[in-house]
Amino acid sequence: MKRTREEVDATLLIAKLDAAELLPAVHCLSFGPGASGAAAGDFCLLELEPTLCQQLEDGHSLVIRGDKDEQAVLCSKDKTYDLKIADTSNMLLFIPGCKTPDQLKKEEAHCNIIHTEIFGFSNNYWELRRCRPKLKKLKKLLMENPYEGPDSQKEKDSNCSKYTTEDLLDQIQASEEEIMTQLQVLNACEIGGYWRILEFDYEMKLLNHVTQLVDSESWSFRKVPLNTCLQELGPLEPEEMIEHCLKCYGKKYVDEGEVYFELDADKICRATAHMLLQNAVKFNLAEFQEVWQQSVPEGMITSLDQLKGLALVDRHSRPEIIFLLKVDDLPEDDQGRFNSLFSLREKWTEEDIAPYIQDLCGEKQTIGALLTKYSRSSMQNGVKVYNSRRPIS
């Protein structure tokens, strides 16, 4: 039975509400036959920030990603969000075709009654929280089958795992833009439609070809001609691999119609240090620095600042030592990262620990805030150091 205007006015009178202060249109709600089904979980409510709403209205997609054993995330074209269920004490009603007060004002509706059927209801909704993309799995997948060169026996084995862009989008909990950016960080390249990471020894072999050519031709590292490199090194390695190496370790530019690369001394010194340290558990620091400087191309200067996030120096041992500690080998979550670091070393200076937690900082988070949350500070020989807030087993 539908309410009349007289019944509505009587209800307003009992509630002591002034009809003049309300919109003239009245929604009379009733539960339809499908309401119980909709409440049983056939539909989910998702709260979106305005920019995501606009993306949907513009025809873009939002994608939920995650395997069965992973916490689901929602990805836009360039951002990743955690999905969390938020309960509410207010019942949320699903009303098809419901008009908002702003829409009713525009229609300048006269005194009328709108009989509205409730399709369903819910006491919770999904809310989004911006999170870091979960990219550790990306390197893990690509390292299942690193590229060792065109003559490698593995390249003839069709059973070796390889991943296309679509495969990575299906398996990595990150937006497409974040995945593509990380592929650049990993120095990955697309070979035959599949994304591959170069096996480190093969990558160093390519780099060595380039630096030896630069030395033999007496070129400046700031002006390495692409075409000449391809002509000279083409008989040794595929041209696309030579160009990929130049892109990884240099910056491309054009001068008078010719393509050149300006090689990055810091990247080359860092890669050389990685090569020296990868087979040594620990290296005498003084000896390492001497060998390292002798191993880089002439004219390049080595510095320990080039090794942040790659190697750690122990100043308290005698003699002082250095060893490989790569940030991308550490756990991806905040607590796991700090547990791993404090298991390795009980007390850290901010200078030493910063390169290993910098990537954990969110958009508005600082290294200081992370240290305050997960560590305690104290003074040791006049230097502030940090140790774990919780016991480390």
Taking the C-alpha atoms of residue 356 and residue 371, their distance in angstroms, rounded to an integer, is: 12
DSSP structural state of residue 119:
-
Gyration radius of the chain's alpha carbons: 31
The tally of domains found in the chain comes to: 4
Q: Do 11 and 117 fall into the same domain?
A: yes
Q: Do 70 and 11 fall into the same domain?
A: yes
Percentage of the chain beyond pLDDT 70 is: 95
Taking the C-alpha atoms of residue 371 and residue 389, their distance in angstroms, rounded to an integer, is: 10
In this structure, is residue 122 part of a structural domain? yes
Q: Do 82 and 171 fall into the same domain?
A: no
Q: Do 210 and 245 fall into the same domain?
A: yes
Percentage of the chain beyond pLDDT 90 is: 67
DSSP structural state of residue 330:
S
pLDDT at site 92: 84
Q: Report pTM.
A: 0.83
pLDDT at site 68: 85
pLDDT at site 110: 58
Beta strands, E only, 315-371: 321-324
* 77 token code pair: 């074209």
Which residues, 6 or more positions from 380, have their beta carbon under 8 angstroms from its beta carbon? 347
Residue from 72, 71, 73, 79 nearest 52 by CA? 79
In this structure, is residue 279 part of a structural domain? no
DSSP structural state of residue 41:
I
pLDDT at 115 over 90: no
Contact 171, 137 (CB under 8 A): yes
Q: Do 64 and 37 fall into the same domain?
A: yes
pLDDT at 390 over 90: no
The answer to which of 205-209, 230-234, 332-336, 358-362 has the lowest mean pLDDT is 358-362
**Which of 150, 180, 197 marks a domain boundary?**
197
pLDDT at 1 over 70: no
Taking the C-alpha atoms of residue 198 and residue 55, their distance in angstroms, rounded to an integer, is: 36
Residue from 75, 170, 68, 78 nearest 128 by CA? 75
In this structure, is residue 283 part of a structural domain? no
**Which of 235, 263, 291 marks a domain boundary?**
263
Beta bridge partners, 363, equal none
Q: Do 93 and 174 fall into the same domain?
A: no
Q: Do 92 and 191 fall into the same domain?
A: no
pLDDT at site 73: 94
Which residues, 6 or more positions from 194, have their beta carbon under 8 angstroms from its beta carbon? 162, 163, 164
Q: Mean pLDDT over residues 296-317, rounded?
A: 94
Beta strands, E only, 267-367: 283-284, 311-314, 321-324
Burial of 93 (0-12, 13-18, 19+ CB in 10 A): middle
Q: At 346, which CATH number?
A: 1.10.10
Instruction: Return the residue matching tokens 């979550």.
Output: 333
Taking the C-alpha atoms of residue 210 and residue 203, their distance in angstroms, rounded to an integer, is: 11
- Show the domain range for 38: 5-130
Rounded to 5 degrees, what are φ and ψ at 316? Answer: -90, -15
Which residues, 6 or more positions from 170, have their beta carbon under 8 angstroms from its beta carbon? 65
Q: Do 87 and 17 fall into the same domain?
A: yes
Task: Give the distance, in angstroms, between the CA of residue 294 and the centroid of all CA atoms in the same chain.
Answer: 36
The answer to which of 31-45, 180-194, 232-246, 310-324 has the lowest mean pLDDT is 31-45
DSSP structural state of residue 206:
H
Taking the C-alpha atoms of residue 275 and residue 294, their distance in angstroms, rounded to an integer, is: 13
Q: Do 374 and 336 fall into the same domain?
A: yes
* 330 token code pair: 């550490």
In this structure, is residue 149 part of a structural domain? yes
Beta bridge partners, 379, equal 384
In this structure, is residue 253 part of a structural domain? yes
In this structure, is residue 280 part of a structural domain? no
The answer to which of 169-173, 286-290, 388-392 has the lowest mean pLDDT is 388-392
Residue from 343, 371, 376, 372 nearest 357 by CA? 371
**Which of 148, 163, 197 marks a domain boundary?**
197
